């Protein structure tokens, strides 16, 4: 049996102060260690480190069609409980976060039924949050 363990992810941000506020105050992530060039966060039980990197010209974003919606590639995120997903979704909507894909239910009534939403952080990193009606179906085929 495979056990899911916390992961570590480091991402570039061009405005450390703005992204620090976003991850800490908007998403509610607890801040850990930091320096003038990076900040650690408890990203829903995983370690996320935002690293300062000068802003550069960015290529057009890439999207992959899924369920008639344009899913940004690359993206990252976490699987939450349905209760936590609903609370985060509500908090983001109250803060007028602009969604790439607004919260909705995929595979309703089918194997793998899940809630999902996509949005970007202030540096343009695409995030996906999802929750399963039945978490045992996380890897169901």
Give the DSSP letter string of 103-140. EEEESTTSTT-EEEEEEE-TT--EEEEEEESSGGGTT-
Per-residue pLDDT of 85-113, as tens digits, reads 999 999 999 999 999 999 999 999 999 99
Is the predicted pLDDT of residue 1 greater than 70, yes or no? no
Residue 129 CB partners (closer than 8 Å, separation 6+):
77, 78, 79, 80, 85, 88, 89, 116, 117
Separation in Å, CA 68 to CA 42, 61, 140: 33, 17, 22
The whole-angstrom separation of Cα 75 and Cα 107 is 21
Domain ranges across the chain:
8-54+63-137
Q: Residue 6: which pLDDT band, with cuts at 50, 70 and 90?
A: confident
Architecture of the domain whose range is 8-54+63-137: Roll (3.10)
How far is residue 9's CA from residue 54's CA, in Å, rounded to a whole number?
19
């Amino acid at each position: 049996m495979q056990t899911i363990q916390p992961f570590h992810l480091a991402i570039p941000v061009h405005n450390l102060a703005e992204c620090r506020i976003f991850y800490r105050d908007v998403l509610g992530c607890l801040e850990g260690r930091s320096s003038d060039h990076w900040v650690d966060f408890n990203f829903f039980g995983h370690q996320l480190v935002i690293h300062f990197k000068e802003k550069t010209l960015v290529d057009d974003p890439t999207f992959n069609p899924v369920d008639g919606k344009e899913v940004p590639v690359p993206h990252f995120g976490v699987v939450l409980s349905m209760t936590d997903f609903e609370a985060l979704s509500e908090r983001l909507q109250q803060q007028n976060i602009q969604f790439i894909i607004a919260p909705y239910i995929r595979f309703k009534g089918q194997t793998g039924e899940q809630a999902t939403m996509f949005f970007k952080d202030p540096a343009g990193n695409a995030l996906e949050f999802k929750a399963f009606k039945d978490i045992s179906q996380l890897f169901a085929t």
